Amino acid sequence: MTFCRSAQAIAGLAVAATLLTAGVQAQPKPAVGHFTLANGLEVVVVPDRRAPVVTHMVWYKVGAADEPPGTSGIAHFLEHLMFKGTANNPAGRFSQAVAAVGGQENAFTSQDYTGYFQRVSRDNLKTLMEFEADRMTGLVLANEQVVPELKVVLEEQNQRVANNPRARLSEQIDAALYLNHPYGKPVIGWRHEIEKLNREDALAFYKRFYTPNNAVLVVAGDVTTDEIKTLAEATYGKVGKVAEIGPRRRPQEPAQVAPRRVTLADAQVQQPSLHRAYLVPSSATAKPGESEALEVLSFILGHGTTSRLYRNLVVERELAVSAGGWYNGTALDASQFGVYGSPKPGVTLEQLEGAIDAVIDDVVAKGITPDEVERAKNRLIADAIYAQDSQATMARWYGAALTTGSTVQKVQSWPDRIRAVTADSANAAAKAWLDKRRSVTGYLIKDSSPREEKRS
Amino acid sequence: MTFCRSAQAIAGLAVAATLLTAGVQAQPKPAVGHFTLANGLEVVVVPDRRAPVVTHMVWYKVGAADEPPGTSGIAHFLEHLMFKGTANNPAGRFSQAVAAVGGQENAFTSQDYTGYFQRVSRDNLKTLMEFEADRMTGLVLANEQVVPELKVVLEEQNQRVANNPRARLSEQIDAALYLNHPYGKPVIGWRHEIEKLNREDALAFYKRFYTPNNAVLVVAGDVTTDEIKTLAEATYGKVGKVAEIGPRRRPQEPAQVAPRRVTLADAQVQQPSLHRAYLVPSSATAKPGESEALEVLSFILGHGTTSRLYRNLVVERELAVSAGGWYNGTALDASQFGVYGSPKPGVTLEQLEGAIDAVIDDVVAKGITPDEVERAKNRLIADAIYAQDSQATMARWYGAALTTGSTVQKVQSWPDRIRAVTADSANAAAKAWLDKRRSVTGYLIKDSSPREEKRS
């Protein structure tokens, strides 16, 4: 069970999530199927017949940003509790059945979605669907299961965040970046709120959001759309709606008017680093073309050793041991564009920041070149073709897209939309969005004199 | 109609709110009356027989921090709408009645309470109580009244915040200081959310929170407790409960681990300034003696021209034109301790900050002296005696206390609690709470090149 801790954690997926079907044009494949059952369950079928294997995922359109105030972490905690069994299938039986046929399983929670994943041979798909449909609304929770699982989640928070300086800084940056939107809360939750979560919170959240009309089934693999339609009706089709789902409206950000800074000193820091996040549009909130321009811009500015940041800071000026940038377009609401770097010994974070600012200022003032844009677009589209080699990746693209305000059509038009980016549109995006007033700059430094944390 | 924009705005009241009855000991007065009606309305009577005048206030235990997410500003908007009339008393009649007898009226909203105030001659008290009781649950709202009033509120936001650089910075500091608690939202609301408030939001909020069992009536003036008991039963006593009120639980702050900074550049800034807020306990959340120690500490550090900050920065080192500090203890949840200063021409904000840090570091490292503590305590207690000269101030002390988790007894024991502060307890408070990791440092600077604000 994983959770997407922050925008960075899903940035890889963000790039991936809109890449499919570049390959459709390179080499025709069976069409992606897309239909909705009578109970509202949306279904996507991605045929991939290379091996008799299927990837099966159910995505719920609910994540940490949908949590009631004061109960942060409940989306992720419920993800854990979804393995505690139903009236038909006591705790453990589902996972044992997957393991017995040599399958894999996993689950994950982000700000916008919660997903459950299995990979099995195609012969076992129907059994899997019966299990997953059963726990869609049939979860039974006893306190004897809830209380120990809360300890598991707290230990996960301990390992992934409390003892991870980079993750701690990321929590602080998110909290400072979002003045009003719940994306400012960590997906795993604030520890003091996780500690108070209970069975009633989990069941209330489950009953409100886990219903076929709030879910997307994605099956990728050695199947046809017709086969899945039959199987889905026979399994998920029997699950009744338990809740009506209104539009997903979260509190939005006010105009961002003042640059913020945050410094985290942690005794475990080995290497100081700088991380800046800008509040920018997501694919779902952007004007047409704007999110694609940010994808291309982030690639040129920060992706890999040929990026502007890496070349300038690491190669040419030898100020940094690492440097880069990223953009997360996969979000229902306003998302993030990031830059980062770690100074070489003897270089201060302030000096590194000055150098990063100079690279960004240069892009904003003089723009990037058409050549850079061409190379970036070719590489992004080529990567999308390679990525289709993974059945699970393809399933994730659709699942993430359909739970963050995107559509099958938008996933499929991604290569065309990337091709349409020009130097002008990327430069306009840089000018519009790389505005420090919309940013938080975080410093991660070594704390040589740790002090006790205070209560509030 | 006023609203308490931020902690600073109520800092004056904060000091005041816990000061009563120093004078009770200096010069005996009729006891403060305190009782609760059958419908749950709490009543405080503060006899003050110098003139045939009464101050009448109804305080609701609801403020901006109780607003549903996404509807910031609804508490304050409802305060405005409370003047729009009832079935018995159409819009304007109540205010006209107050004006006709030469009375005064006002209303105010803070994070924790919403209050309505009138001052009239004692003969008119009963009429006033009938009016106020009538609108406690009898408000009638038509869209023709709501829509124009929203424009009034937006214009108020425009004047008080959007065109006030200091208020804008304060919004940003609050938002950065509170990572999770709704105190991070402005009392007047985020403008983009105010714009969407409507009649339904206002009525839902009204029906949930405006009920006698969620209110405190405070009458100060030429009255006896018995008289008020009779009048209150004949007026407010007839108002039925419309809602059950549970405990006021807001999302609390996580451990604060990283100092934050925010810089606001505004074209209207005449004089740069620095404002730092620390997250500290309020009177309601502090351990015994701790809030009082913070009162004394803030007085020594920052109150007036004899304070450490003023003497050091303005008088001795001539770095600043102003400098000071404050503490707001009147809050249901974690509150703020602030320091501020404006540099002299030629001094940078960074230099001023270094000097402020040096003063604070000196207090934390070496402590304040018993002499300083004695002087501060004498002055705080003396001020409380003088403050009782104002009937309205006394009414406000009780109203604010009883709507922020305090009690009549705590108000009355305030001088004794202040007397119990020692140099040791004040020094312990400084060490525990003046921790930069719990702080936001804000710079207000002149923007010479204003740019258009961006949407998110």
Mean pLDDT of chain A: 92
Phi then psi for residue A354, to 5 deg, are: -60, -40
The whole-angstrom separation of Cα A37 and Cα A23 is 29
Confidence of residue A28 (pLDDT cuts 50, 70, 90): low
The whole-angstrom separation of Cα A91 and Cα A448 is 46
The whole-angstrom separation of Cα B409 and Cα B393 is 17
Contacts (Cβ under 8 Å, ≥6 apart) of A318: A344
Q: Do B438 and A451 touch (CB under 8 A)?
A: no
Catalytic residues of A: 79
For residue A317, give the amino acid letter: R
pLDDT at A8 over 70: no
Distinct helix (H) and strand (E) counts, chain A: 18, 12
Q: Would you tell me the crossing angle of helices A370-387 and A423-433 to the nearest 10 degrees?
A: 90
Q: Is the separation of the CB atoms in B186 and B171 below 8 Å?
A: yes
Q: Do A255 and B180 touch (CB under 8 A)?
A: no
In Å, what is the CA distance from B355 to each residue of B287, B351, B360, B413, B430?
A: 31, 6, 9, 37, 17
Q: Pick from A435, A442, A456: which is nearest to B253 by CB? A: A456
E strand residue ranges, A294-428: 320-328, 335-343
B263 CB neighbours in chain A (<8 A) are: 258-259
3-state secondary structure at position A85: strand
- Percent of chain B topping pLDDT 90: 89
Convert the pLDDT of each residue in A118-148 to its tens digit. 999 999 999 999 999 999 999 999 999 999 9
Q: Pick from A72, A182, A432: which is nearest to B454 by CB? A: A432
The whole-angstrom separation of Cα A17 and Cα A10 is 10
The whole-angstrom separation of Cα B66 and Cα B63 is 6
Nearest to B156 by CA among B312, B29, B3: B3
Convert the pLDDT of each residue in B414-430 to its tens digit. 999 999 999 999 999 99
Measured in angstroms, the CA of B338 and the nearest CA of chain A are apart by 16
- Residue A28 DSSP code: -
- Residue B268 DSSP code: T
Name the pTM for this structure.
0.90
Q: Can you give the pLDDT at residue B386?
A: 86
pLDDT at A14 over 70: no
The whole-angstrom separation of Cα A50 and Cα B178 is 53
A454 CB neighbours in chain B (<8 A) are: 255-256, 432-433, 435, 438
Residue ranges in A180-266 assigned as alpha helix (H): 191-194, 199-209, 225-234
Q: Pick from A252, A259, A264: which is nearest to B456 by CB? A: A252
E strand residue ranges, B193-297: 215-221, 260-266, 273-280
Partnered with residue B120 across adjacent β-strands are B54
Element (H, E) at B140: none
Q: Can you give the pLDDT at residue B174?
A: 98
Kindly give the pairing relationship between strand A260-266 and strand A439-446.
parallel
- Residue A239 DSSP code: P
Confidence of residue B384 (pLDDT cuts 50, 70, 90): confident
Rounded to two decimals, the ipTM of the complex is 0.86
Name the residue with tokens 């009920």: B211
Element (H, E) at A279: strand A273-280
Q: Can you give the pLDDT at residue B451?
A: 53
Q: Do B251 and A193 touch (CB under 8 A)?
A: yes
Q: Can you give the pLDDT at residue A17?
A: 35
- Percent of chain A topping pLDDT 70: 92
Between the two ends of chain B, the Cα-to-Cα distance in Å is 32
